[in-house]
Amino acid sequence: MTDPEPPGIRFRWDKSDATARAAAAFAGRVIGSDARYISHGEIQTGLSPDGRHWADGLAGLYAEDFATLGEARDLLVAETDAGDLVGMVILAWEASSRRQFAVLEDMAVEPSLRSFRIGERLLGEVEARVRARGIEWLFLESGVGNEGAHRFFDRHGFGTISHVFAKRLND
């Protein structure tokens, strides 16, 4: 049996200032409530000082990041008919000298609504957008302790292809 879908949820790609601010506040609240989201990307971008704790003022840091999405990143939101955000994704477009690829940088769903297929719908929108650009690979990273996310991504065809190791040199 599949999980029910909540009524009145719409999904849209939108990088407007108002949507970016709302998504940053949502990310700060939802992602910032759980240190299991932290992976090496959060250390690299200064959202976590040590891989175990979030940086002070996380919502403000997200607001800075989301205010400058530019052409290299897209924002997808899930919202109720009343305009309340219940999910969001930041999708980055990357390229090396040999390949173009996409990176699912952040994805969050309102915790009380996680059994309503919102994450599945967000991921489906992302995959469709990536395929439409003719891009073959979609990558993401997940905090080592975020087992719920790992099971979700495993169920949707993602596989582990590496482990990231880090060493802090200046303590």
pTM, full prediction: 0.93
Q: How far apart are CA 155 and CA 162, in angstroms?
A: 18
Q: At 147, is the secondary structure helix, strand, or coil? A: helix
In a domain, 1, yes or no: no
Q: Are the C-beta atoms of 77 and 85 separated by less than 8 Å? A: yes
Q: Phi and psi dihedrals of 50, rounded to 5?
A: -145, 5
pLDDT in tens, 64-112: 999 999 999 999 999 999 999 999 999 999 999 999 999 999 999 999 9
All residues at 6 or more sequence positions from 3 whose CB lies less than 8 Å from its CB, including other chains: 115, 116, 117
In a domain, 55, yes or no: yes
In a domain, 59, yes or no: yes
111-115: long-range pairs with CB below 8 Å, 24+: 111/30, 111/33, 113/6, 113/86, 113/87, 114/148, 115/3, 115/4
In a domain, 58, yes or no: yes
How many domains in the chain?
Answer: 1
Q: What is the pLDDT of residue 124?
A: 97
pLDDT in tens, 123-160: 999 999 999 999 999 999 999 999 999 999 999 999 99
The domain containing residue 111 runs over which residues?
10-155
Whichever domain contains 124, its CATH number is 3.40.630.30
Q: What is the pLDDT of residue 7?
A: 65
The predicted model gives 13-31 an average pLDDT of 97
